[in-house]
Amino acid sequence: MSDTNANSVAFVRETMLEEKAPPSTAVGVVGWAKANLFSGAFNTILTLVSLAFVLYILWGLVPWLLSPTWGALSLNECREINGPGHGGACWGVISDRWQQLLFGFYPNGSDGAADLRWRPVLALGLLFVAIAPVLFDKVPRKLFYVTAVYPFMMPWLLWGGSVWLPVMVMFGLVLGYLIIKYGADKIGSLAALIVGVLATVLFWLYGVSPVADAIHSAIPLGLEPVESRKFGGFMLSITIGVVAIMCSLPIGIVLALGRQSDLLIVKALCVGFIEFIRGVPLITLLFVASTLLNIFLPPGTNFDIILRVMIMVTLFAAAYMAEVIRGGLAALPKGQYEGADSLGLDYWQAQRLIIMPQALKISIPGIVSTFIGVFKDTVLVSIIGLLDPLGLSNAIRADADWNGIVWEIYGFIALLFFVVCFSMSRYSMYLERKLKTSH
């Protein structure tokens, strides 16, 4: 027995075994379904019940969606096409009124007038070009010139009028910038800032219109004017939403910093503004913009209703934005502030280079959620008489041809808002992954 053990040699493999593919039931769709949907008796029953419910919904929804009524010109024609039971949707209302839902009563060439709808389409296209270098770092930096000019170009394209009016508004900003830049060495940075802001505001109030009119009389360049009452549809929601989103973020940052300021007056003003705006419903502010604001203005003042709504929606969004950013500032550890002090940075340098970038990164989900909420809240303007998509839907359903249509119009409007809001949420997730906010 001992001789046998002594002469035995243990087997040692000299080559590695070839890798084998995992079982087909453990990978791919089958593996995922087995692990997540059919991992146990309870999950299997729940999956089958949910699948039956989804199939039941699709059984009734798909034929309704695939209704061949795109060419119908009235609800009665839709019913004739769908036959007995009228179980399909009446998509003829979308085919007939989609342009009105998108553009409102913006001039479209009817009644011998010029077709001007290319202007809001161009403004929307330039919007994507203008925000591209802000949202994505691989876009050519030269597009920042479009970004800088777009806030002045968009209202000119939509409302028309003399081209010299937006040019003079830009000149006012340039004037204030030059005073701040070159006056800091002579009168101090704070005094230069105050003088520059005052010069810009005074030029906008008293110099823009006379100078623009004088230049226009010599060099008449401009677009055909369009009244605000012709604005409507999804174009109106986009216009109000974009302006509110673009302006509320910087105002919110200033309010958040003012709320944390050690200056008593600045802090009191910011806290009072934020708490007042957040304590009042948006619809109340819109009523103020629509009716009460003209009472406090000088007699004969023509303050555009859409501009008033933009201001109120922007202030409303800025108050909520300030609280979101303040949460990001409060989440930063005290060591970040101490590190900025150790580098010898002043307050504004520390905020620009160290504090605010980190606070904004932390606040990305809240910022985008506020943006989405503001954009959806633009439908409230229908209550004060502006013809946004919901306001137009009431006018369309009042037509005898489409009286009784509900789900088709609301579904189309919901789809438009979903595309925009879902795009913003997807970009938020992309930005979070890029900046790795969880680390």
pLDDT at residue 170, rounded to an integer:
92
CA angle 79, 80, 82 (to 5 degrees): 65
Phi, psi (rounded to 5 degrees) for 272: -60, -45
- Do 134 and 58 belong to one domain? no
- Confidence at 91, pLDDT banded by 50, 70, 90: very high
- Do 346 and 374 belong to one domain? yes
Per DSSP, the three-state class of 280 is coil
Long-range contacts of 352-361 (CB under 8 A, 24+ apart): 355/329, 356/253, 358/328, 358/332, 359/325, 359/328, 359/329, 359/331, 359/332, 360/325, 360/328, 361/328, 361/435, 361/437
- Report the alpha-carbon distance of residue 69 to residue 345 in Å, rounded: 67
Given phi > 0 = left and psi -120 to 50 = alpha, else beta, which region is 111? left
- Do 404 and 364 belong to one domain? yes
Last residue of a domain, one of 223, 255, 272: 223
The string of pLDDT tens digits covering residues 113-172 is 778 899 999 999 999 999 999 888 888 888 889 999 999 999 999 999 999 999 999 999
Per DSSP, the three-state class of 138 is coil
Last residue of a domain, one of 177, 192, 223: 223
Specify if 17 maps to a domain. no
Measured from the Cβ of residue 367, the count of other Cβ atoms closer than 10 Å reads 22
Specify if 189 maps to a domain. yes
Specify if 145 maps to a domain. yes
CA angle 356, 197, 293 (to 5 degrees): 95
- Do 331 and 378 belong to one domain? yes
- Do 127 and 255 belong to one domain? no
Q: Is the pLDDT of residue 64 over 80?
A: yes
Specify if 339 maps to a domain. yes
Average pLDDT over residues 294-319: 82
- Report the alpha-carbon distance of residue 176 to residue 153 in Å, rounded: 20
Last residue of a domain, one of 121, 141, 160: 160
pTM (predicted TM-score): 0.85
The string of pLDDT tens digits covering residues 14-24 is 777 777 777 76
Lowest mean pLDDT segment, chosen from 192-196, 363-367, 408-412? 192-196
Specify if 74 maps to a domain. no
- Confidence at 304, pLDDT banded by 50, 70, 90: confident
- Do 320 and 284 belong to one domain? yes
How high does pLDDT run on average in the chain?
Answer: 87
Question: Residue 361 sits in a domain of what CATH number?
Answer: 1.10.3720.10
Specify if 214 maps to a domain. yes
- Do 112 and 192 belong to one domain? no
- Confidence at 295, pLDDT banded by 50, 70, 90: confident
Lowest mean pLDDT segment, chosen from 2-6, 18-22, 39-43, 239-243? 2-6
- Do 294 and 369 belong to one domain? yes
Q: Is the pLDDT of residue 292 over 80?
A: no
> Count of domains in the chain?
4
Specify if 273 maps to a domain. yes
CA torsion, points 415, 420, 421, 423, in degrees to nearest 10? 120
- Confidence at 415, pLDDT banded by 50, 70, 90: very high
Specify if 77 maps to a domain. no
Contact status, residue 329 vs residue 256, Cβ threshold 8 Å: yes
Average pLDDT over residues 201-224: 90
β-partners of residue 161 are 223
Residue 129 belongs to domain spanning: 107-160
- Do 292 and 335 belong to one domain? yes
Q: Is the pLDDT of residue 32 over 70?
A: yes
pLDDT at residue 297, rounded to an integer:
66
- Do 438 and 409 belong to one domain? yes
- Do 38 and 146 belong to one domain? no
- Do 381 and 345 belong to one domain? yes
Joined together, the tokens standing for residue 21 give 């593919």
